[in-house]
Structure 1
Amino acid sequence: MTLCQTLEQLGLDYDAARLIAGLSRSQLETPSYLIRSVQELAFINAVLAANSRPDLAYLVGPGYHFDVIGIWALALICSKNLRQACQIAQEFY
């Protein structure tokens, strides 16, 4: 998970956030493991609550690229306009 890698690089602990989200360390370290959206949001919220770094999003963001986000994001980015992106997002979410 990109967020975990950034937290580790910054020396920030995320074990409490992992437990809140109901995730094991091995699940987070397995690239093929699918984290449910509820778990991901719980993890992100817990990380943000535990860390007061205002620049955290700016440090994590560059790690999210097409092979991390997937074909869905590519379809959104390739949309002609915002309306088409929203239609694609709604259709394939």
Structure 2
Amino acid sequence: MAERYGFEYELVQYKWPRWLHGQTEKQRLIWAYKILFLDVLFPLNIKKIIFVDADQVVRTDMKELLEEPLDGAPYGYTPFCDSRTDMDGFR
């Protein structure tokens, strides 16, 4: 795909930080990796990143998220919905 569309890519790999409690559930480990290493995947001059997971359904204009002030906070999260009971163990 890179050759066809003319872009370059590299694969990265990170080790779990020793100072952080280890995770035993694979799904929680995947979620943690996505959040922990977002800051090293992108250039430092980017002001805001909106991460949308592959299975997420967006039902609104995402410009609202882009304009939401974080008041210096490094991360902002939308609340978990409670309509999917199969996700209760991950909240």
- TM-score, normalised via structure 1 length: 0.29
Structure with the larger RCO, 1 or 2 (CA within 8 Å, 6+ apart): 1
Larger CA Rg, structure 1 vs 2: 2
